Structure 1
Amino acid sequence: MLLTDKEVQNKRLPEGKKQLKLRDGNGLYLLINKSGKYWHYDYKINGNRKTYSFGTYPAIPLAGKKVSAGYSKGARDFLVEVKALIKQGIDPSLKKQEDRQLEVAKATAKKKQAKAEKDTFEKVARRWWKLQTYWSSKHARTVLGRLESHTFPWIGNIPVNQLTKGNITESLQHMVDANVYVVADRVHGYITNVLEFAEDHDLIEAAKIPKKRNIIPARKAKPTKAITESKRIGELMRAIDGYKGTTVVCAALKLLPLLAVRTGELRHAHWAEMDLGNALWTVPAPNRKLKEEFKLNPENVHYVPLSKQAVELLKELWHWTGRGNHVFPSNRGDSRPMSENTINGALSALGFKEEMTGHGTRTMFSTILNADGFNPDAIETQLQHKSKDSIRATYNRATYREEREMMMQYWADWLDGIRKK
């Protein structure tokens, strides 16, 4: 005998019983226990007995009915569907589980898509930028300024998961058209880092980045202006000796060839870094040409052995600038070092504009000492050059301290000798 709606509604679990089954026909029954009322159907598939649950009463009524939105199914309607699946050899319980998993996957994908549409390139780029806490404030401003000027106006509003190689190429092309290749090169790197950040944070499946060589023309490296012929070096040294500039600039011109450091390192030298008693200059990490994260490590210093001639020049200069912090202060005061154009401006005034720069003293140093048979590793260490052989560089951490002390004195004596010829 089939169940009625009234019977299903009014039936209660008898006192002392744990559960009660009310059978409707065709295998459908209502299981009543302390937790509630559940529509069940027992079936057999692939030799296994299973129970399928349609849901609870009254959420699922006994029979379906017409509603304003169409038709609301009941337990008997769901039973017909389940039996049809079993007839096809489909396990309804497994299908129900798969359907739920599919619904969850769709909901997750929809939520992810909605979030991705909010994650525009500009928003993600700013999140990446804020993480670069090891950058100097100046470098951070430069990077953000380039993104705001050259990238955000083109692709800033595009969701990162919709960004194409074509979009990125278009954003870089305007810089290429304006012949600002260096900036285009840098911005390509920023975009690459931003999209790799997005990939790591599961905002995109994979970073789609166009190859730089297909967008930005390769630039020919300009050879460093440097005098490497002995006779001309002698003429340069004599010209430096005769320079009629300020005491600070004269000292810088004379010391730069002796030290073989970068002009920026020389300009930013502080008296606190100089140990004239032990003939040693310790260049701190922030003043070296290093990646920003390495500048934060105080152990990344560079030791520059000072020749007798260098020590003598520094002692003389100390009487002029030793009361301040900078060894080579600006002519406007000790709050800043001398201008970055000072050295090259002085060399130009001496008539060497077309053949020599401050950086060229390093090439001069390397050329002569390599020709005179000094250890190339010691020379490269003095110049703070990394070995191109990455494996060798990993294991070779020698500083060649004693060898460099002898080498720097040899170099100073050689310059004195060539100056007199």
Structure 2
Amino acid sequence: MARKTTPLSDAEIRSAKTKDKLYSLYDGEGLELRISAAGNKSWLFRYVRPHVKKSNYIKIGSYPETSLAQARKARAEYRELIAKEIDPQKWLDAKNDRIRNEISSTLAEVAEQWFAIKFTKVTPRHAANIKTTFTMHLFPTLGNWPVNELTAPVVIRELKPLEAAGKHETVTRACQRMNELMTWCVNTGIIQHNPLAGIKAAFIAAQSTHMPTIKPEQLPELMRTLHYAQIRIVTRCLIEWQLHTMVRPSEAARTRWCEIDIENMLWTIPPERMKQKREHQVPLTEQTLALLDYMRPISSKSEFLFPADRNLGKSACSETANRALRRMGYAGILVSHGLRALASTTLNEQGFDHDVIEAALAHQDKNQVRSAYNRATYIERRRKLMEWWSNHIEEAATGKMIISGKAGLKVV
């Protein structure tokens, strides 16, 4: 018959004397108080590890800092784990790792880890925008906060001044990016849940705004202004190229000579330079080919059709056309991205097939099957659309020869 252990009492523990060697007092069910020759008293829990069936000790604490009642409470917790076939030692290790992780993981630290992964999936420009959101609006006040201490009220309080300043789009982006980071923290085990889910509801929603553009009937005036504008010839050509091809500002500014197929009258933009990350083909017209002929003596030694002003090894900036338009008197009236809207409005008013127009603008069709079909079959129909559009632009110049005029070229 197993010997029954008599539970310890506080008086017995306090009066326990040191001996020449280490010894223990037993409270039963694995709990013991070990007393060293130096007089130190430590609570230990002895048990047989589940699965491996080996004896193991867990230190609960020192006496009197850890009382008898506290030691018995820890023993009860460990025995409950063992009953569930859970090793208390492994459970403690995992708990301590989690606590250390949460304490040492500040917003700035985990953000850098997330950046290393996130930035492999986005363009350098988008990566820079994400980092700016954190470095300008979040790190200054929240960067040293452990992420497990970030709550919705804390983050909302820090973003409210931006809302008060009318920077609603910035607030929206900050909420989105913080949520994405916190979800990553949950998935990687840094925190247990995302406390910031839904914080954007605490702010005024950003109102979508359309890019400033002009009406179709104002195109002749734009062409006359461009004709007389005191701007660099490369910038003038860039604006015309974007107007004729209907591409986005960055796609136009970074056009490479190697992307141009003169024989087949086709410009192929690779996926990495497109917003939707899909290759886009632009049928070229007589006017755009003439513009290429004009640019060849200027930039043929560069990789780029429109090189930077002082460095042939770099392309023109995507903001180059916008700056020129502002100098031409179109501040608040027209931006370079608005040239796409001008083309879309004009072509729709002329009765061109809406799907062909959308394909020419490289807009994403929500129906993936239809999108693939359109990309494969619309190229010839888009050629006719582009020819009409280039001719329309030339006619809008009211008889004055512009750089891409098909009847001849002259510097203006």
Q: What is the TM-score when the length of structure 2 is the normalising length?
A: 0.70
In terms of fraction of residues, the more strand-rich structure is 1
4+ residue runs over 4 A deviation? 61-67, 94-97, 99-106, 136-139
Q: Does the CA-based 8 Å contact 2:220-2:398 persist in structure 1?
A: yes
Q: Does the CA-based 8 Å contact 2:244-2:389 persist in structure 1?
A: yes
Q: Does the CA-based 8 Å contact 2:81-2:88 persist in structure 1?
A: no
Q: For the residues of structure 2 that align with 1:414 and 1:404, how far apart are their CA atoms?
A: 15
How far did 1:129 drift? 1.6
- Tell me the residue number matched to 1:364: 342
Q: Percent identity?
A: 22
- Tell me the residue number matched to 1:305: 283
CA deviations on 1:340-389 (whole Å, 9 max, x unpaired) are 443234334444445322222111111111122212111111111123xx
- Tell me the residue number matched to 1:250: 236
Q: For the residues of structure 2 that align with 1:71 and 1:99, how far apart are their CA atoms?
A: 28
Q: For the residues of structure 2 that align with 1:328 and 1:277, how far apart are their CA atoms?
A: 21
How far did 1:103 drift? 4.5
- Tell me the residue number matched to 2:324: 346
Q: For the residues of structure 2 that align with 1:272 and 1:96, how far apart are their CA atoms?
A: 67
- Tell me the residue number matched to 1:176: 163
Q: Alignment length, in residue pairs? A: 337
Which of residues 143, 147, 165 is equivalent to 2:152? 165
Distance 1:104 1:336, change over 3 A: same
How far did 1:116 drift? 2.6
Report the secondary structure of 2:312's partner residue: strand
- Tell me the residue number matched to 1:115: 101
Task: For 2:303, give the aligned amino acid.
Answer: N
Report the secondary structure of 2:282's partner residue: strand
- Tell me the residue number matched to 1:72: 26
Q: For the residues of structure 2 that align with 1:377 and 1:407, how far apart are their CA atoms?
A: 12
Report the secondary structure of 2:172's partner residue: helix
**Given the alignment of the two structures, is residue 264 of structure 1 paired with residue 218 of structure 2, yes or no?**
no
- Tell me the residue number matched to 2:141: 154
- Tell me the residue number matched to 1:214: 201
Task: For 1:323, give the aligned amino acid.
Answer: K
Distance 1:348 1:144, change over 3 A: closer
CA deviations on 1:194-220 (whole Å, 9 max, x unpaired) are 110111123333212153443433333
Distance 1:207 1:72, change over 3 A: same
**Given the alignment of the two structures, is residue 241 of structure 1 paired with residue 219 of structure 2, yes or no?**
no
**Given the alignment of the two structures, is residue 98 of structure 1 paired with residue 83 of structure 2, yes or no?**
yes
Distance 1:138 1:249, change over 3 A: closer
- Runs of at least 5 residues in structure 2 that lack an aligned partner in the other structure: 18-23, 33-78, 400-412
Which of residues 366, 369, 392 is equivalent to 1:414? 392
- Runs of at least 5 residues in structure 1 that lack an aligned partner in the other structure: 1-27, 30-38, 40-53, 55-60, 79-93, 295-299
- Tell me the residue number matched to 1:197: 184
Task: For 1:285, give the aligned amino acid.
Answer: P
CA-based RMSD of the aligned residues comes to 3.5
How far did 1:264 drift? 1.6
Which of residues 303, 307, 310 is equivalent to 1:329? 307
Task: For 2:320, give the aligned amino acid.
Answer: T
CA deviations on 1:298-334 (whole Å, 9 max, x unpaired) are xx32111111111112112212222222211222231
Q: What is the TM-score when the length of structure 1 is the normalising length?
A: 0.69
- Tell me the residue number matched to 2:49: none
How far did 1:101 drift? 4.2
Q: For the residues of structure 1 that align with 2:360 and 2:345, how far apart are their CA atoms?
A: 13
Per mean C-alpha deviation after superposition, the further-off stretch among 210-219 and 361-370 is 210-219
- Tell me the residue number matched to 1:129: 115
Report the secondary structure of 2:263's partner residue: helix
- Tell me the residue number matched to 1:396: 371
Q: For the residues of structure 2 that align with 1:120 and 1:285, how far apart are their CA atoms?
A: 36
Task: For 1:344, give the aligned amino acid.
Answer: N
Q: Does the CA-based 8 Å contact 1:169-1:210 persist in structure 2?
A: no
Q: For the residues of structure 2 that align with 1:136 and 1:72, how far apart are their CA atoms?
A: 65
Task: For 1:72, give the aligned amino acid.
Answer: Y
The residue correspondences of 1:222-233 to structure 2 (distance < 5 A) are: 222-230=209-217, 232-233=218-219
